[in-house]
Chains A and B, each alone.
Chain A
Amino acid sequence: MSRMDPRIHHVLDGELPREALPPGLRPALDRLQALAALLRSAPAGGGRSVAARVLAEIRRPLPGHLTRLVHWVTERHAVTVSLRPVWSLVVAAVVVVAVAVIPSRGSEGPTLSAEEGVAQFVGRFPGARSVEVVGSFTDWRPGVVPLQDDDHDGVWQTEVVLPAGEHQYMFVVDGERWVPDPLADRYVDDGFGGQNAVIIVQPGNR
């Protein structure tokens, strides 16, 4: 790719008037301007407006928080944590260390440190093939915390131990659709025009 005379860029960027360009450079300028004008023409299929589709979607009322909560409370949930083999080894090692080092509280299981808590992620995604949670605690990398729906009722969930405090997260449905948790504690701007859900993990919370 050959470099173009910078004066052509200056004209196209509005930093120089066209007249400042030597006649020999004007054909390249004209060609680029014609090219841009062609692309500004209405694209093929441009007559198909999405206005009706968008308006129909936004007119459909979203169920309220209370309704969603009632659905969640009244439906069956299976609490199962399934991990990849490599993570199972890590979790097993953590459990062994926890049992050995941390004093037991009877039947309550291993005690969490003062800086940790259990975060429960639950989402209703009927028909989804996979759901996972991705967030600040996974460095926004997928493939770390999958949710389970063992009884195929569309409610996906998991529990993980996280450092106490606030964590931002999103659900990733079928590996491609990023969805903020509709039941999140609160939301923050994700810096890309959307919102991340926020979970507040209390220390020692189970």
Chain B
Amino acid sequence: MTAPPKIRSYLQAPEEPPDAEVITRVLSGDVEAFGILIRRYEPGLHRFATRMLGSADGAADAVAEGLVRAYRHLRGCREPARFRTWVYRIVVNRCKSHLARRPSGDLSLDDLPPLPDPADNAMALERAEQLTLVTRALAALSTEKREAFVLKHVEGLSYEEMAVVTGARVPTLKMRVHRAREALLASLKEYQ
């Protein structure tokens, strides 16, 4: 029986190896193994970038650039077991670069959740409306607070991991998250 193509086997592998093992394979010349890391981290990275940039296209560019950069500099990942924080750090920086290119440096609202279809049920309508409000409130935060809030509460990173990703100190990050929570809560109260 002919073995399936390499890429197919990676996409369908029921039990996937840990990051460090995948990285060893990639560094040994197995380029396709990088697909495992892409599949493993792309959803979170894309969600983070979308919440930071407010644009699906911008997020896709930032994540793609970040992943290519991660591949090209994979030997610089000193702790392969902590690839997650390393690759988040790269994408965080890509997002900052994208934001810096914008005239206002602020969040785009190109991809606000679509307007609810009247045919949707009441729960879906309410959820879509809430997501629009929350996205707008998030957009009103400064980049640093938005980044801290999203890493903490959307991506579920610990403060220690956030410190590795952002280069900021834990007390600073805590302060940013706390201020972001308060600003979001205050902002959403206005709509109540």
Contact = CB atoms under 8 A, between A and B. Distances in A.
Contact of A1 (B46, B60, B186): B186
A100 interface: no
A54 B181 contact: no
Contact of B93 (A32, A48, A189, A193): A193
Given A9-B181, A45-B50, A50-B64, A55 B35 contact: yes
Interface in A1-45: 1-4, 8-9, 12-13, 28, 31-32, 34-36, 38-45
B39 A51 contact: yes
Contacts of A151: none
B134 interface: yes
A191 B56 contact: no
Interface string B124-151: 0001001100110010000000000010
21 contacts: A1-B179, A1-B182, A1-B186, A3-B182, A31-B188, A32-B181, A39-B138, A39-B154, A40-B154, A42-B43, A45-B59, A46-B47, A46-B50, A50-B64, A50-B67, A51-B42, A58-B34, A192-B90, A192-B167, A193-B89, A193-B90
Interface of A: 1-4, 8-9, 12-13, 28, 31-32, 34-36, 38-46, 48-51, 53-55, 57-59, 176, 178, 189, 191-195
